[in-house]
Amino acid sequence: MKNILVVNSSLNSDAGNSSKLVASYLEKLPGDEVKLDILDLNEAQLPHLTQKEMAAWMIAPEERTREQAELAGVSDALLSRLEEADEVVIGLPMYNLGVPSTFKAWIDRLARAGKSFKYTENGPVGLIADKPVTVLAARGGVYAGTEYDTQTPYIRHIFGLMGITKVNFVYAEGLNMGEEAAANAFSAANEKIIELLSN
Ligand SMILES: Cc1cc2nc3c(=O)[nH]c(=O)nc-3n(C[C@H](O)[C@H](O)[C@H](O)COP(=O)(O)O)c2cc1C
């Protein structure tokens, strides 16, 4: 059975436009043999990464205090969910020209030297098995393909660092530019989802 890690990062949880795109993607999946592992980052409310938490990663598991074991356990559990997934589907709103801070807090628990990537003489090498990642991006304005779209290169590079290179984007843009623009954006995004799923 295919295991799909579904990551929503809208501050509106399921009501978010990006979460609705994720729902639309999941509805259109062919076959019914899938197991969904849902991670709602708005509900999870991961705190900013601290020195204490990062230091706990560096200590051998058998030598950790209870507090350090709990702190390291947060990242370990999130990494296991990523490793166990055959595919990842991400709902990603644009907030203030970047990714939601909750999403960044998730990435900060995943990008871990020695766990998800390692440094070598030739630069970093990813340690996570490659898998398809589909990003359903919701935006009030129109940015794809411009220098203001910091999300697309960031996501490609950060997953690439961990060894994940099969990243696809679906954009619903101009959602705050009037009803007609929003309707057109959703319909174009849904067409793109169908195209992706037919490949
Ligand atoms: C705090 C905040 C910041 C935003 N910043 C941007 C922005 O920089 N660029 C943009 O195109 N839209 C911006 N928007 C609009 C959202 O991208 C848009 O409403 C999108 O549909 C939100 O997705 P969601 O409903 O899944 O949260 C912002 C919205 C919020 C709430």
Render the chain in DSSP notation, one character per residue: -EEEEEEE--TTGGGSHHHHHHHHHHHT-SSS-EEEEEEEHHHH-PPPP-HHHHHHHHS-GGG--HHHHHHHHHHHHHHHHHHH-SEEEEEEE-BTTB--HHHHHHHHHH--BTTTEEEETTEEEE-SPP--EEEEEE-SS--TTSTT--HHHHHHHHHHHTT---EEEEEE--TTS-HHHHHHHHHHHHHHHHHHHH-
Give the pLDDT of residue 60.
97
Tell me the CATH class for 2-198.
alpha beta
Whether 8 is in the pocket of ligand 1, judged by its Cβ within 6 Å, is: no
* pLDDT one-digit tens code per residue, 96-142: 999 999 999 999 999 999 999 999 999 999 999 999 999 999 999 99
Give the pLDDT of residue 12.
97
Whether 19 is in the pocket of ligand 1, judged by its Cβ within 6 Å, is: yes
Could you identify the atom of ligand 1 that is nearest to the CA of residue 96? 8
Q: What is the pTM of this model?
A: 0.97
To the nearest whole percent, how much of the chain has pLDDT over 90? 97
Whether 172 is in the pocket of ligand 1, judged by its Cβ within 6 Å, is: no
* pLDDT one-digit tens code per residue, 64-86: 999 999 999 999 999 999 999 99
For the chain, the domains span 2-198
pLDDT, mean over the chain: 97
pLDDT over 80 (residue 32): no
- pLDDT band of 145, cuts 50, 70, 90: very high
